[in-house]
Structure 1
Amino acid sequence: MAYNGTKRQVLNTFKLVHRARSKCFKDDNHMSNAAKVQINEEFKKNKSVSDPITVQNLIKFALDVENELLTQVVQAERIAENKFKLKIDPDRHTYENIPYAELDDETYKKWKESKKKGGKKDQKCCCD
């Protein structure tokens, strides 16, 4: 890479991904170290890339990885045989959960028909 601005951008991206890794796997040394090794390997593997477009694509990919680590990855701790406790960062955006409801065939068919006919747009669940 001949351009200093690109080098600086790559270094900043490298740091951002490592910060996201350390925040995501804060209390899990094993996963933190595994992610650290993987991140370092990927950056080393692409160290000799000099095409500016390819470099920008790799930077975008690394920023997407950072976003995934900060927004999508959660850790679970086993509490009992079939119980887990999720470790969710308070800064992490979570979405409203919609409970799953098992439908019998008749209810499902009615729901499908209402969808075909342009049923209620604000209806949250077919069981309401």
Structure 2
Amino acid sequence: MINQNQMTVSCDSQGSLLFIHIQVLKLFKSLHRTRQEVFKNDTKALEAARQKINEEFRNNRDETSEEKINELLKIASDVEVILRTSVIQAVHTDSDKIVLIPRKDLLQDNTPYLDKPTKKQES
């Protein structure tokens, strides 16, 4: 996962260009790992996500603007977080039933909601 502090890159020198290249590759790999985990056992979704990730990176690989690169890195990082934290698989079992398949990292302890009882105020 990319640290938010590392999202701002500078194109000043060859070292910076190498840093940018490394950050882009890390994010590319992270998106693909997340894709494989989120869409596990769903070949259509796996392939569609693979194609979309590859297409977006391919379309922007010649980008040289520092500002645009930072913007694209931020978007890709946000997409990775959303995929990892918000997407859940569902399977149709019958014509009217869907079974959700949550990943272990999405499960959280449920704390029941309970309003505190309030005392009646006497007028």
Shorter-chain TM range is 0.7 to 0.9
Deviation at 1:97, TM superposition (A): 9.5
Residue in 2 that maps onto 1:18: 32
Residue in 1 that maps onto 2:74: 60
TM-score normalized by the length of structure 2: 0.73
- Distance in 2 between the 1:48 and 1:97 partners? 49
CA gap 1:53/1:93 in 2 versus in 1, 3 angstroms: farther
RMSD of equivalent CA atoms: 2.2
CA gap 1:79/1:97 in 2 versus in 1, 3 angstroms: farther
Deviation at 1:67, TM superposition (A): 0.7
Residue in 1 that maps onto 2:6: none
Please identify the structure whose Cα radius of gyration is greater. Answer: 1
Deviation at 1:81, TM superposition (A): 2.1
CA gap 1:70/1:4 in 2 versus in 1, 3 angstroms: same
* 2:46 pairs with 1:32: yes
Aligned residues, how many? 101
- Distance in 2 between the 1:50 and 1:95 partners? 45
TM-score normalized by the length of structure 1: 0.71
- Distance in 1 between the 2:40 and 2:89 partners? 10
Residue in 2 that maps onto 1:70: 84
Q: Deviations over 1:18-61 (max 9, x none)?
A: 11101111110111011100100000001111111211111111
CA gap 1:46/1:95 in 2 versus in 1, 3 angstroms: farther
- Distance in 2 between the 1:26 and 1:44 partners? 24
Q: Which residue of 16, 23, 38 corresponds with 1:9?
A: 23
- Distance in 1 between the 2:111 and 2:45 partners? 27
Structure 2 residue runs of 5 or longer lacking an equivalent are 1-10, 117-123
Give the secondary structure class of the aligned counterpart of 1:76.
strand
Structure 1 residue runs of 5 or longer lacking an equivalent are 99-121
- Distance in 2 between the 1:39 and 1:93 partners? 26
Deviation at 1:14, TM superposition (A): 0.4
